[in-house]
A and B are shown apart, each in its own frame.
Chain A
């Protein structure tokens, strides 16, 4: 049986929770997801969070969030993330849903030091996410 701390395989998928607000996700647009949906917040010291689909469903992930307006959830291929030069590191935490992992290249410190590069990566992630929204809270 798979363990949450097992290394992440390139054939896996990870989920990214995106707050359901027009400034982050607007399904009426060609590119519905805004880049900042992948920008680290001050909480993302070690990197932005993603969740391994092996361990959590999109619905459960959305339900675990605290945004009053709910969430949409994007499904991203790990191989696509690797192709962007990103790494995904298992990071099991008691205060997070199962399957928590981080992307260290998109930490708050990286954002400060290499902002333009981070923004370009975030833009690519937003494009991928926009084509792979698999769940929205009602």
Chain B
């Protein structure tokens, strides 16, 4: 059991593996959680809610927040839906804690783990994500990835492909 939900939106990282040979496919330096079977259920339970949140975000217009935010770009919302599907099928992470739209119209998936471990995926272009990982006593890590859309995966191999480190 390596990822255990403690409270709403909070996951234990007692065996959170950030580096090493057990690392996951999203990051060559490694960032992975091994998810117990009930987390699989968690994905199933949360997926509809997450998609609903994304559809809510999709409806935002320019200046939706009254502070000058740009409307989220449709292709980025579509990419977020696709990324959620990839993450769900890979079981690399638990479902995100929160989904947000940035003032620039980007889509953000956020994970809050126990002990102040924070992970964020900012979708800045279609099928391209900027990751940020914050862990206490470690420098914050940033890296970028592109991934293969689900429709393309059906034709080719599965998984996310690293483009830029």
Residues of A within 8 A of B (CB): 17, 19, 21-24, 26, 28-31, 34-36, 39-44, 65-68, 115-116, 119-120, 123
Contacts and interface: CB of A to CB of B under 8 A. Distances in A.
B98 A65 contact: no
B103 A39 contact: yes
B98 A29 contact: yes
A35 B66 CA distance: 17
A68 B118 CA distance: 30
B68 A22 contact: no
B118 A120 contact: no
A23 B112 contact: no
Contacts of A23: 53, 57, 98-101, 108
A41 B69 contact: yes
Q: Does more than half of chain A's interface fall in helix, strand or loop, or is it mixed?
A: loop
Contact of A66 (B66, B99, B104, B134): B66
Contacts of B8: 28-29
Contacts of A36: 100-103, 108
B72 to A, nearest CB: 10
B67 A35 contact: no
Interface size class of B (residues with CB under 8 A): 20 to 34
B69 to A, nearest CB: 5
A120 B97 CA distance: 19
Nearest to B57: A23
Contacts of B98: 22-23, 26, 29, 34
A19 B67 contact: yes
A28 B79 CA distance: 27
A35 B97 contact: no
Contacts of A115: 130
B10 interface: yes
A31 B112 contact: yes
15 contacts: A19-B66, A22-B53, A24-B65, A31-B118, A36-B101, A39-B102, A41-B67, A41-B103, A41-B104, A43-B67, A66-B66, A67-B66, A67-B67, A116-B140, A119-B132
A57 B32 CA distance: 45
A102 to B, nearest CB: 14
Contact of B112 (A21, A30, A68): A30
A34 B66 contact: no
Nearest to B142: A116
Nearest to A42: B68
Given A39-B103, A40-B103, A116-B132, A21 B65 contact: yes
